[in-house]
Amino acid sequence: MSELLNFNYPPEPAVDRVTLFADVILPLPLPKLYTYRIPFEMNDDVMVGARVIVQFGSKRILSCIVADIHEQAPADYQAKYIMDVLDDTPIVTVPQLKLFKWIADYYMCTLGEVINAALPSALKLSSESRIQLHPHFNPEEDDIPLATQEVKIIYALQQNQAMTFTDIGNLLQIKSYHKFIKSLIQKEAIIIYEQVSDKFSPKVVKKIRLSEHFVQGEGMLEELFEQLTPKPKQLDILLNYLQKVPVHQDVNLNYKGIEKSVLTNNPHLSKSSIDSLIKKGVLEQFDQIISRFPVDDSPRQLPMNLSEHQLQAKDEILGLFKEKDTVLLHGVTGSGKTEVYIDLIKHALEGGGQVLYLLPEIALTAQIVTRLMKVFGEKLGVYHSKFSDNERAEVWQGVLSGRFQVVVGVRSAVFLPFHNLSLIIVDEEHESSYKQYDPAPRYNARETALMMAHLQGAKTLLGSATPSIETYYNCKTGRWGLVTMLKRFGEAQLPDVELVNTREEQQRKTMHSHFSSKLLDGIEQRLKRHEQVILFQNRRGYAPFIACDECSWIPKCRNCAVSLSYHKFGNELRCHYCGYHEHMPSDCPACGATTLKSMGFGTEKIEDELKLILPDAEVQRMDLDTTKKKNSYQQIIADFENGKTNVLVGTQMVTKGLDFENVSLVGILNADSIIHFPDYRAHERAYQLFVQVSGRAGRKGKPGTVFIQTRDPMQAIFRKVISNDYESLYEHEIEERMRFSYPPFVRMIKVTVKHADERTSENAAIVLAKDLTDKLGKQQVLGPEIPYIFRIRNLFLNEIHIKLPRENVNLRSAKGLIAQAIQQLYLLPDFKGIKVVADVDPM
């Protein structure tokens, strides 16, 4: 059963009234929790995990989460009273509060920042919040008892669409109006949203019905007939309506009415007469809102029968779970890990627990959700950033209430209010998109999931065809369990990987722009056979930069130390770091020449050129630029699934997890840019990327081929990719990590110092590095150094890397010292305006 317990129960009722205080988490980056006084009459209503309304500062009214209840008045300030209690039951569970605390401690941020990231804005009320009618709520139809004040609010919202708290206060002319808002939220009659952009526009159909008094009043209908007899067109409409809605049989039928289009689309009825009947008040027009999460009526399907290998993997996993909390399923691409997950989810649900299934990217959810929906139906919730805020709030409530027992989501799903988890699946566990870079909390959802599982006594299954070195190390040292699937499902074989030497082709003059003749021939061949192709290029846009052929001028971002990328769509130059954009100049602003040339290439250019080279092919692109709209992922994936598209060009979005049966060729256009990335993980990443994208080929029977274009085919990493030799990659990498002290042998913390002035940033970093060295020891602190991209959003960056040994270091106290050093830096007058960001376990 769920465990929505309070941290502290309110004390036993005493004869004397006790004065209680609540520590609350405000959704703000404050270092400490604030204490408010609980008014006596609310003593029984304030609960840990529930929201209360408080005044913060002189004006702001905010909702916040109660973290603790006690009798201790704050020592250094007079506690203000809590204004109102919003929830009858906690919306944040006790295990969640513990998790949030861990995130704040581990990732060196405030609880307020965690809460702010965790709660959908619809659950964060403030004086700026807005209120609208709940899209499901139909005031005419929904039969819920409402207080007079509530009716007033509903009526006003029907007229006004949206109102602020202040509007409601003015409307009711009373001070304690929050309870009515709260009650209406609970009755699902209204919803709250934070920003205008979050406003939920419900799907509405126009409907028509007879005005109430014609139906209810004795003899009224007969009278109406008489009235309309001289107007045959109007009478026709009335008769037609009564045919469809036989109110003489059951007056209640009138309530629902019919869709207006039923009448207006009827060629025998006059549209203008319909309108006159509405004007006269005979007919009544109203809007009906259509549900947001339509119930999936398609018949449930049983999970597929597991193959022998899958069954064995499943049994091994369950066996290992008896001794270990975490198991890695290392299964090659296309080995059928998803079906194993589904079976384990079923198993967990039968045991009565909740399940969280994490995916690194929204692009992956489309296919997986379809699959899971068929098996788990309305028990399945989906959580990601393409959902509107109110949809996310609905999933939140659904997890609390138990409506959703399985949730599929991207990294932020670790914040959901699970209270009875028994299994977490982290699919593609090696993915760096599990880590949030900015803003705080800079958490890694995989690590957070492990802690979450620990707090709730759940098991975690990590899955990947290319595990991260850290994870594999944990398996090798026996901390975690390891289960392997070496073969693809069914008859499918791993694809053949071939290297294409672009340097040679260039010398032979057989390159067509960025395509080798080998790759082009390969594509043409596949298309003739009605097979599909995926092309991967790690940059979006048309070209990473442009340059003047005469004077070598290169346009740079105003705010960042990067060149601007050229985007042909919109004919724009754009910064991928700050979003700055400008129109593409027609000639060079430096020398006036008209010879501006695009250099390098991104996905947009590949798409463009391929369409010219192969005019009959249907080419689509999937990258950040083509997936801005809510359903664009689904559309692109569906078009490719149905064979409407022949070639899919994309960034890392197309590289993993996707399952298309007809793809027989994968092309990697520029492998070298991926290998030569200045980072200790570059090889690991390159291997993962190449193997993952290769893994999209030949997944169902038909053999698959991969062409990797490179100028230097002798690089060692390629041999490992070609032979799919993860073990040898691991052996090589782990040795290097040990030798040069990198994770998993040390923990890293990256401290970035930012300032608008270059010298100040540098000097502050030097002072901070010195202080850190004094506090932590010389060996532990590297830098400061100026990063490759040394200026972003007008701030100059300097980085300090801290390496903390795994053994013999108290992580908590080390982080305490780092936080202290940062605080001390903030106090120095020389460095006013400085910003320091600590990133724990940076990726």
Q: Which residues bind Zn ion (CB under 5 A)?
A: 557, 559-560, 575, 577-578, 580
Residues 475 to 494: which contact ligand ATP by CB under 6 A? Answer: 489
State yes or no: residue 702 binds ligand ATP (CB under 6 A): no
Closest separation in Å from C-beta 380 to ligand ATP = 17
Judged by CB under 6 A, the residue of 95, 202, 695, 704 near ligand ATP is 695
Torsion of CA 137, 143, 144, 147, to 10 degrees: 100
Q: Which is nearer to Zn ion, 375 or 557 (CB)?
A: 557
Say which entry of Zn ion, ligand ATP, none residue 333 contacts (CB below 5 to 8 A, set by partner kind): ligand ATP
Say which entry of Zn ion, ligand ATP, none residue 567 contacts (CB below 5 to 8 A, set by partner kind): none
Closest separation in Å from C-beta 339 to ligand ATP = 4
d(CA 648, CA 536): 9
At 771, list the tokens. 């202080």
C-alpha to C-alpha distances, 707 to 62, 532, 665, nearest whole angstrom: 56, 14, 8
State yes or no: residue 337 binds ligand ATP (CB under 6 A): yes
Say which entry of Zn ion, ligand ATP, none residue 575 contacts (CB below 5 to 8 A, set by partner kind): Zn ion
At 447, list the tokens. 């690590």
Q: Which is nearer to ligand ATP, 337 or 683 (CB)?
A: 337
Judged by CB under 6 A, the residue of 310, 471, 655, 709 near ligand ATP is 310
Handedness of CA 277, 278, 281, 285 (dihedral sign): positive
User: Who contacts 311 (Cβ-Cβ below 8 Å, separation ≥6)?
Assistant: none
Judge contact between 488 and 334, C-beta under 8 A: yes
State yes or no: residue 336 binds ligand ATP (CB under 6 A): yes
User: Who contacts 683 (Cβ-Cβ below 8 Å, separation ≥6)?
Assistant: 675, 717, 729, 732, 733
Kind plus residue range of the DSSP H or E element containing 407? strand 406-409
Q: Which is nearer to ligand ATP, 489 or 515 (CB)?
A: 489
Helix spans in 217-336 (H): 220-228, 232-244, 253-256, 260-264, 271-280, 308-321
Say which entry of Zn ion, ligand ATP, none residue 784 contacts (CB below 5 to 8 A, set by partner kind): none
Phi, psi of 696 (to 5 degrees): -80, -10
Please choose, out of 15-23, 301-309, 539-547, 821-829, the segment that lies near ligand ATP by the rule CB under 6 A. Answer: 301-309
State yes or no: residue 394 binds ligand ATP (CB under 6 A): no
Count of beta carbons in the 10 Å neighbourhood of residue 40:
11
d(CA 822, CA 813): 14
For ligand ATP, how many residues bind (rule: CB under 6 A)? 19
Closest separation in Å from C-beta 386 to Zn ion = 25
Say which entry of Zn ion, ligand ATP, none residue 751 contacts (CB below 5 to 8 A, set by partner kind): none
Say which entry of ligand ATP, Zn ion, none residue 337 contacts (CB below 5 to 8 A, set by partner kind): ligand ATP
Please choose, out of 20-28, 326-334, 610-618, 672-680, the segment that lies near ligand ATP by the rule CB under 6 A. Answer: 326-334
Say which entry of Zn ion, ligand ATP, none residue 382 contacts (CB below 5 to 8 A, set by partner kind): none
- Does 475 count as an annotated binding residue? no
Closest separation in Å from C-beta 575 to Zn ion = 3
β-sheet bridge partners, residue 668: 536, 708
**DSSP states along 737-797:** HHHTT-TTSEEEEEEEEEESSHHHHHHHHHHHHHHHHHHH-GGGEEEEE--SS-EETTEEE
- Does 109 count as an annotated binding residue? no
611 three-state secondary structure: helix
Closest separation in Å from C-beta 19 to ligand ATP = 57
Please choose, out of 101-109, 186-194, 328-336, 567-575, the segment that lies near ligand ATP by the rule CB under 6 A. Answer: 328-336
Closest separation in Å from C-beta 790 to ligand ATP = 38
Say which entry of ligand ATP, Zn ion, none residue 310 contacts (CB below 5 to 8 A, set by partner kind): ligand ATP
Closest separation in Å from C-beta 374 to ligand ATP = 12
- Does 588 count as an annotated binding residue? yes
- Does 551 count as an annotated binding residue? yes
Judge contact between 806 and 745, C-beta under 8 A: yes
User: Who contacts 360 (Cβ-Cβ below 8 Å, separation ≥6)?
Assistant: 410, 411, 427, 428, 431, 433, 434, 656, 657
Phi, psi of 708 (to 5 degrees): -110, 115
Judge contact between 430 and 328, C-beta under 8 A: no
Angle at 355 between CA 354 and CA 357, to 5 degrees: 160
Closest separation in Å from C-beta 303 to ligand ATP = 8
Q: Which is nearer to ligand ATP, 333 or 420 (CB)?
A: 333
Closest separation in Å from C-beta 336 to ligand ATP = 3
In eight-state DSSP terms, residue 563 is B
Residues 455 to 474: which contact ligand ATP by CB under 6 A? Answer: 465
State yes or no: residue 307 binds ligand ATP (CB under 6 A): yes
Q: Computed over its alpha carbons, how large is the radius of gyration of the chain?
A: 31
In eight-state DSSP terms, residue 804 is E
State yes or no: residue 584 binds ligand ATP (CB under 6 A): no
Judged by CB under 6 A, the residue of 306, 313, 445, 814 near ligand ATP is 306
Judged by CB under 6 A, the residue of 339, 641, 684, 762 near ligand ATP is 339
Q: Which is nearer to ligand ATP, 367 or 760 (CB)?
A: 367
Q: Is the peptide bond before 439 cis (omega within 30 degrees of 0)?
A: yes
State yes or no: residue 333 binds ligand ATP (CB under 6 A): yes
- Does 548 count as an annotated binding residue? yes
Closest separation in Å from C-beta 580 to Zn ion = 5
Nearest alpha carbon to residue 441 among 194, 125, 115, 122: 115
Please choose, out of 333-341, 345-353, 645-653, 835-843, the segment that lies near ligand ATP by the rule CB under 6 A. Answer: 333-341
Closest separation in Å from C-beta 385 to Zn ion = 22
Judged by CB under 6 A, the residue of 257, 381, 657, 667 near ligand ATP is 657
- Does 591 count as an annotated binding residue? yes
d(CA 253, CA 248): 9
**DSSP states along 635-695:** HHHHHHHTTS-SEEEESGGGSSS---TTEEEEEES-SHHHHT-SSTTHHHHHHHHHHHHHT
Query: Which residue type does 683 have?
Result: H
Residue ranges for the known binding site are 548, 551, 557, 560, 575, 578, 588, 591
Residue ranges for the known binding site for Zn(2+) are 548, 551, 557, 560, 575, 578, 588, 591
In the complex, which residues of this chain contact ligand ATP (CB under 6 A)? 304-307, 310, 331, 333-339, 465, 489, 657, 659, 695, 699
